[in-house]
């Protein structure tokens, strides 16, 4: 009985191994890409990313740039207010009126920022101010991290809190500084 592999059987086995190695190579590349997206970033670095995203988002109002505003919205965003706005297009259409005119009707800035340990969700909250700088509300935005950066998935504005003064206001989240690392 002949036990030596036939010529075409050996070629088929080589081709099978090549396909398997090719598949493993693609999988290794995908895992490396996912790892670089997730990154080995610290919570401080992630908080700083959300703070910068929120600051850039707020700048769209000052710059009167509605198109830039829309780029920060997740496709499935939900905005809570007098009514619930669902989806990027509904929020964009509803907020267009705030971008009309030469002067911004209000401004906002992050006061407190947190990010979950997975690095996938962030919360930004802070004051909303009228053109004269008077605090007229508080915003709360939840950001989701994806391959195209941080996008807002939930937003809620509310009147300013009358909680007994500054002592009731939680301290702002630390902001990393290149000169002094945080404990």
pLDDT tens for residues 115-145? 999 999 999 999 999 999 999 999 999 999 9
Q: Model-level pTM? A: 0.69
d(CA 157, CA 135): 12
- Classify residue 164 as exposed, middle or buried by CB count within 10 Å of its CB (0-12, 13-18, 19+): exposed
d(CA 136, CA 115): 26
- Report residue 13's pLDDT band, with 50, 70 and 90 as the boundaries: low
Distances (CA, A) of 174 to 107, 126, 161: 22, 14, 22
pLDDT of residue 164 exceeding 70: no
- Report residue 162's pLDDT band, with 50, 70 and 90 as the boundaries: low
pLDDT tens for residues 31-71? 333 444 455 589 999 999 999 999 999 999 999 999 999 99
Domains of the chain and CATH, by start:
43-168 (3.10.450.50)
Higher pLDDT, 25 or 43: 43
């Amino acid at each position: 009985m002949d036990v030596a592999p036939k010529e075409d059987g050996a070629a088929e086995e080589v081709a099978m191994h090549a396909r398997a190695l090719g598949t493993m190579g693609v999988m290794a590349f995908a895992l490396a890409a996912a790892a670089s997206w997730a990154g080995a970033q610290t919570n401080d670095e992630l908080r700083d990313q959300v703070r910068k995203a929120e600051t850039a988002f707020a700048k769209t109002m000052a710059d009167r740039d509605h198109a830039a505003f829309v780029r920060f919205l997740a496709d499935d965003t939900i905005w809570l207010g007098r009514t619930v706005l669902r989806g990027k297009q509904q929020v964009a259409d509803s907020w267009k009126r705030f971008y009309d005119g030469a002067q911004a009707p209000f401004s906002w800035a992050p006061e407190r920022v947190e990010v979950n340990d997975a690095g996938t969700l962030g919360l930004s909250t802070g004051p909303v101010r009228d053109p004269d700088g008077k605090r007229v509300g508080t915003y709360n935005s939840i950001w989701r991290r994806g391959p195209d950066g941080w996008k807002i998935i939930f937003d809620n504005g509310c009147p300013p809190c009358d909680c007994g003064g500054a002592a009731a206001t939680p301290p702002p989240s630390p902001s990393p500084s290149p000169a002094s690392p945080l404990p």
